[in-house]
Amino acid sequence: MHPQPLRRARLRLVAVAAAVLAILAAGLAGAVGAQAAQGCQVDYRVTAQWPGGFTADATVKNLGDPVNGWSLKWTFGAGQRVTQAWNAQTTASGDTITATNANYNAAIATGGSVSFGFNGSWSGSNPVPAAFELNGRACDGTVGEPTTTPTTPPPTGGATAMEQVAAMQPGWNVGNTLDALGGETAWGNPLITEQLLAHVKSQGYNSIRLPVTWEEYMGPGPDYTVDPARMERVAQVVDWALENDLQVLLNVHHDSWMWLNELGTDHDAVLAKYEALWTQIADRFKDHPAGLAFESVNEPQFTGAEGAAGDALTEELNLVFHEIVRGSGGGNDDRLLVLPTLVTNADQPRLDALKATIDGLDDPMVAATIHFYGFWPFSVNIAGFTTYNAEVEADLIGTFQRVNDTFVDAGIPVIMGEWAVLNYDHNRPGVHQSGELLKFFEAAEFQARDKDVTTMLWDAGQFLNRSTLQWRDQHMYEYFASGVTTRSGTASFDSVYLPGSGAITAKSLTLNRNGLQFTGLWQGSTKLAEGTDYTVSGDTLTLTAAALTRLAGNRAYGVNAQLEARFSAGVPWRIKIVTADAPVLSNATGPSASFAIPTQFKGDTLATMEARYADGTNAGTATWTPYQEFWSNFRPDYAAGTLILTPEFLAAVTDGQPVTLTFHFYSGATATYTITESGGTVTGTA
């Protein structure tokens, strides 16, 4: 019999944050940053003005030491008011306005700048404000008296598990690095540096998950000694993160499928190795502060054991891990320990099994972890799931609801240790439609806030370029950053397609307000005129024929203009005005190892591909659906003007049997093509 588990009270994130602040204020983990010299200049410009309204941009240049968190204050001299802002949050006290940073633009390096903009109202006159203050110091072009800036270090003890996990939000994975096989740089990422971790902190992240694969650095049994150099390298990265006010979740990573998966077939040897590994990790880090947490194993999986049998083996590893760490003394007595479900799956039976394990442990400093990459067909673009549709949304909402109902409502914190979508990579363009991907990310972050789940973005280099410390898609990062605290409005699609010739007619999109107010359409700093350029009826946004004709310009194929649908909060929704005609495919013959269809895309972009034999049965690697998986079976090369059929797809095609391919494009156009493979040669006919 297990002892009766402790009753845990549910804490909302707001209460959690308040509790953490109270703990810090009490001196358990207080710190004050080094004094910094301050100075700044502000370039304030009214970029557009009309009767009763105006648009202004403000660029703040930091002349002093680096700033992490800013507040710009000014006073209007003629009764102006801010009605909507972007890239900053604004509050007003009479004529005095205070603009504070968004999560994604809090850091301003020495000599660096940050910009934000707003819409305002005015009457009579609209003079430029006479003075500005940045963090309480006049922006007069000089560098003046130093100030002290409080920092919020990781917990050093005293916080509950719920409080500590809440303070980890949001988190970021240093993926494909210390977990890479063959060395830290073997999978294409540079060495982890303190500069990288400081940058991650400056981008609004409060924790990192540090995946580590240990197998290649362990000696033979019975001791299974970890190479001291490896252990100290891991410790160096952990220490750098903690010094930069990042909590750390350290784990045992690809070992899960390299040797731990044989627990059911080679039980005693595998368990002895696992025990030896965690004994060494626990001993090395037992004196580290509470900001370091341990995760027993990444995605536990076992040869020949699924379902309940796999749950039982997962529980065995989790219990052994818990016993070793708790028995190692020092800070490990009450260190946060994080336990996964089988394969970190969030199906209800997996959650129930882990809940039973945690209840049995009766340990208040334990958290649950799962992973989430969304509805699988959408996540990889297969079976025709190219958009964030009702099924994708239902899967997302259901996942967060289950983990909330099972764990959070019972007072057990949840860390979504990895989340993103599968197959998204900067080297694989086009797998996901950009706007539909942003909808998915926006919704996931909202559910995380609503269901009190801490999330850790899986980044193996596809989001943050670690060589340049720049986001590969800045707009996508703005969604990540904004989504931590607020929703963003979206629309039914992010593109309006127009023909290359002939009459242009009005086009409509459906607004997804997400609880916000729609405030208008903009092209750069120019606000479009409601009634003339667009109309709104309910949630239907209609762009007029006259506006689209103007925006299309010379109607060259591709994107001719970009608009922003702005809402009362969050990141504006981008709408591309695209000129496109039906793509044209041409006949071709070539080897199956490198077959490509000559294609005139004519401004359109590829969504998916169907493949069927003459009798209607499915052709290709996926026989359960005619819609094959993007990239692994087919991929566009827009620069070269080709549609590539991969060797993997062609190897799955029956020799000598014609296959009809139907290419679907995001404009709604389709193109049909027939291929026949025979003896390693492919013949294609449009």
Q: Which residues are catalytic?
A: 299, 418
In whole angstroms, give the CA distance from residue 592 to residue 656. 13
Three-state secondary-structure class, residue 434: helix
| Strand order from edge to edge, sheet including 526-527 | 495-498, 573-579, 558-567, 518-523, 526-527
Ranges assigned E (strand) in 197-283:
207-210, 247-251
Residue 357: which of 305, 320, 408, 399 has the closest Cα? 320
| Angle between helices 267-285 and 307-326 in degrees, nearest 10 | 40
Amino acid identity at 300:
P
Task: Compute the radius of gyration of the chain from its Cα atoms.
Answer: 28
Residue with tokens 């040897």: 269
Q: How far from the centroid of its chain's Cα atoms is residue 677's Cα?
A: 41
Would you call 84 exposed, middle or buried from its count of C-beta atoms within 10 A (0-12, 13-18, 19+)?
middle
Q: Which 8-state DSSP code applies to residue 540?
A: E
Provide the strand spans (E) within 552-678: 558-567, 573-579, 584-585, 588-591, 595-600, 606-613, 634-637, 642-645, 659-665, 670-678
Write the single-letter amino acid at 620: G
**Residue whose tokens read 């001993």:** 283
Q: Find out whether 566 and 84 touch, Cβ atoms under 8 Å.
A: yes
Question: Residue 512 gets which letter from DSSP?
Answer: E
**d(C-alpha 169, C-alpha 13), whole Å:** 10
Closest C-alpha among 601, 598, 623 to residue 610: 623
Q: What are phi and psi of 652, to 5 degrees?
A: -90, -5
Whether 646 contacts 592, CB under 8 Å: no
The CB density around residue 654, as the number of other CB atoms within 10 Å, is: 12
| Spatial distance between the Cα atoms of 240 and 386, rounded to a whole number of angstroms | 41
Say which residues have a Cβ less than 8 Å from residue 449's Cβ, sequence separation at least 6. Answer: 13, 484, 485
